[in-house]
Amino acid sequence: MIRGVYLLGPHNSLLHSKEYVEPASREALIDFLLNLTEFLSTQDLGDQIEFMNLATSRLYYSVNGDYTFLLVADKADDMEQITEKIQQLETVFMEKFVPVYEAGKAIEGLDNFIDSLAVTMVKVAILGFAGVGKTTTLHLLRGETLPLKHDPTIGVTIKKLPSEVENANIVLWDLAGQSRFKILWGKMIANAQVVVIVTDSTLENVLKSKKLVGLVKEKVPNAKIIGIANKQDLPTALTPDRVGKILGVKTYELVAIDVSYRDRLIQIIRRAILEGKAEDSGDGKKADN
């Protein structure tokens, strides 16, 4: 998702900034962007859009005359999509807003335009072996009636999650867990910002699911991974803490057939999107933490 949009004008002046995720230190970020813009003024980028990797995000930038356009997005975001957005930002700003600014008039409508531009699709992939409750988890997230019987997913089910993040359209991918679909998992999780590994909390399944964590780290290294210890109502269930230690990622408890977990689960997904990729502690957590 897009985390911030920054426009700088003549004499390295900050014309506009909009943040959708609060940076660790806004002052330090702005200072860095000002220094970068000053450096870019000595370079000839032509009409190229460049990027650089930051600690947990990616900074895209372009220069047009006295104006510099900077956009901070997640590393897992589709680069072509973000490049198109910064191109659109540059084109519209130069054609519509620069004449107003250079005439000394107040710029109106820019904030609304940037808000509309900053909306991106956030892909959340739900991955796990057959029978662990992935589809039930999907129904729970969407507030749908929970199924009365297990109906295995064939291939992939794609559903939208009601908006929970200001500038993101969250799309949930429920991947089939049967063995015959394993060959597709790597392709189906491509470009996912968040991957949710669902387990049934049995030792056998959790040990198998550890391989899924390895697959995600190999195929989408910039994705945020969280674990779900489902079926916590069963006597054979390992604790979320134990599941998290085996998987090596932060793990939360869940009883997917219990609708009282819905709001807490949505907040877990929301927090994972906003946090982005980070070092996973492997500690288990309750769903309301």
Write out pLDDT tens, residues 213-237: 999 999 989 899 999 999 999 998 9
How far from chain centre, in Å, is Cα 40? Answer: 29
State the average pLDDT for the chain: 84
Give the H or E element holding residue 185: helix 182-188
Q: Which domains does the chain carry? A: 2-117 (3.30.450.30), 121-285 (3.40.50.300)
Distance in angstroms (rounded) separating the CA atoms of residues 76 and 30: 23
pLDDT tier for residue 179 given thresholds of 50, 70 and 90: low
Of the candidates 248, 247, 257, 284, the one whose C-alpha atom is nearest the C-alpha of residue 268 is 284
Q: How large is the average pLDDT for residues 282-286?
A: 52
Distance in angstroms (rounded) separating the CA atoms of residues 287 and 255: 10
Cα angle for residues 270, 170, 141 (degrees, 5° grid): 65
Of the candidates 245, 259, 50, the one whose C-alpha atom is nearest the C-alpha of residue 136 is 259
Q: Which residue has the tokens 């904030």?
A: 111
pLDDT tier for residue 147 given thresholds of 50, 70 and 90: low
Residues 183-196 have pLDDT tens digits of: 677 778 888 889 99
Phi, psi angles (nearest 5°) of residue 286: -75, 155
Least confident among 4-8, 176-180, 217-221, 253-257: 176-180
**What does pTM read for this prediction?**
0.71
pLDDT confidence of residue 146: 65
Per the DSSP assignment, residues forming a β-bridge with 196 are 126, 226
Distance in angstroms (rounded) separating the CA atoms of residues 26 and 190: 31
Query: Do 192 and 99 touch, CB atoms closer than 8 A?
Result: no
